[in-house]
Amino acid sequence: MRQYTLFVPSCLCVRNILRNLPAAPFAAGLRRPINALGSRAMNKAPLLAGLAAFTLLSTPAAAQKSPEAVAEAALKKAPVFDGHNDVPWALRLRVANVINGFDFQDTTDTAKPDATPPVIAMHTDLNRLRKGHVGAQFWSVYVPSNTNEQQAVQQTIEQIDVMKRLAARYPNDLMLASNSVELEKGMKAGKIAGMLGIEGGQSIGSSLAVLREMYGMGVRYMTLTHSKTTPWADSATDAPKYDGMTDFGRQVVQEMNRIGMIVDLSHVSEATMKDALETTKAPVMFSHSGVRAVNDHPRNVPDSVLPLVKANGGIVMIVFLPGFLDPKVRAYGLDRTAIEARLKSQYSGDPAAVTAGLKEWDAANPVPKTQIAKVAEHVDHLKNTIGIDHIGLGGDYDGMDSAPEGMEDVAGYPALFTELARRGYSQADLEKIASGNMLRVLKAVEAYAASQTGAPPVETPVAK
């Protein structure tokens, strides 16, 4: 049953409504005294009829829209611009980047349950991107953290290449943009517009020359670290070496600003976040992170940093990985790590026993399920602390092994937007979260780079 919200209008509004209503039932219902059970029963029907008519006339049309309708309208006007998707890495793992015969229209049959370890089906394909109202996507050209930086540079170029080839295979659906104008033009043409993002500073081999050439290949953001500390910046999930960034790390940020590459602070330590925010002259992004106030994970953004993000004009794009979202899943992971360590100590030299013991524990302790509401809690915290203008979404699809129920793949964005609408987010709010805020950041980074036209590149000596 549709429910309506009664509000108190002005006196003039009341007079106009009463003037146009049938006088007898409504006036009788409001004016007759209710002094006894009999008179109350006698007056109940006309009173309710009058109030119902008054309510229907006084409720704004927008307030009558369902959460589903609000979400659908927002996504139709502002399709999702997601901050992080690992399709290029999925292609490397599954088909070694040999994609001429790969069907990206529908990847739902790509699971390999009998493989060791088992492989789940991909989260992403053209059909589900359309269903999820994804209009733009940062494709992560991720390669693992590697102390052999020359190898990391080569692998990153291979990942750039495979994503360009994938886009070329589906010209009616995909396109790669070099700037915000091209990206918005592609979105308006009904294509899924894309940009490339490097995930981890190892991909530039500690070289500003390589950084500049990566920009030339189409890379438009770089996550300063991945899971390991680089030679110039501390990671959130590795032992700190520099209490943030080195002088060279600050030069990396300065050169990214100059050429128009977005500084991405997902994966970096809190000290690195603060050093980068102190150094940058352009807005930053967190391409796929949660907030620590909701789940105390080192990969998430602490409240001490959020005001700096607001002052910078940056954006935090909420990740969908349950371990980053949900304290229950985080606690489960810590317990499992402790069990594995104990088994390795108990069965030193007997890896089969360790595997068997861990399998038995897994069977008795299933991973807790995470709900869409948990994603919304992270969004709520950002809205309440730094405001709606600094929120985006970076799902991390095809870079994680599970997702919240109802958002198992890239078709699930509408379910999240419906949940947010149910919590009172307006259509304008949802449009900002979907893509408006990320487009603003992208344009601001481009504008700063344009203001630096003629400024010389940051130079560092190379080995002789």
Residue 267 annotated in active site: yes
Residue 226 annotated in active site: yes
Closest CA to 67 of 429, 315, 393, 381: 429
- The angle at the Cα of 169, spanning 168 to 171, to the nearest 5 degrees, equals 60
Catalytic residue among 82, 125, 184, 226: 226
Q: Token pair 């291979």 is at which residue?
A: 158
CA atoms of 266 and 86, how far apart (whole Å) = 14
Catalytic residue among 82, 149, 255, 396: 396
Q: For residue 318, count other CB atoms closer than 10 A to its CB.
A: 30
- Please list, residue by residue across 194-224, b when 16 or more beta carbons sit within 10 angstroms of its beta carbon and e when fewer do: bbbbbbbbbbbbbbbebbbebbeebbbbbbb
223 DSSP 8-state letter: E
Structural contact between residues 395 and 405, judged by C-beta atoms closer than 8 angstroms: no
Catalytic residue among 133, 288, 297, 381: 288
Closest CA to 290 of 330, 253, 261: 330
Dump the DSSP string for 255-268: HHHHHTPEEE-TTB
Residue 381 annotated in active site: no
Q: Is the dihedral of CA 73, 76, 80, 81 positive or negative?
A: negative
Structural contact between residues 370 and 322, judged by C-beta atoms closer than 8 angstroms: yes
Residue 243 annotated in active site: no
Residue 72 annotated in active site: no
Joined together, the tokens standing for residue 327 give: 């304290």
CA atoms of 353 and 172, how far apart (whole Å) = 52
Closest CA to 139 of 455, 411, 397: 397
Catalytic residue among 125, 149, 199, 419: 199
Residue 288 annotated in active site: yes
Residue 86 annotated in active site: yes
Upper half-sphere CA count for residue 376 (Cβ side, 13 Å)? 18
Joined together, the tokens standing for residue 47 give: 């009173």
CA atoms of 226 and 234, how far apart (whole Å) = 9
Structural contact between residues 318 and 407, judged by C-beta atoms closer than 8 angstroms: no
The set of catalytic residues is 84, 86, 199, 226, 267, 288, 396
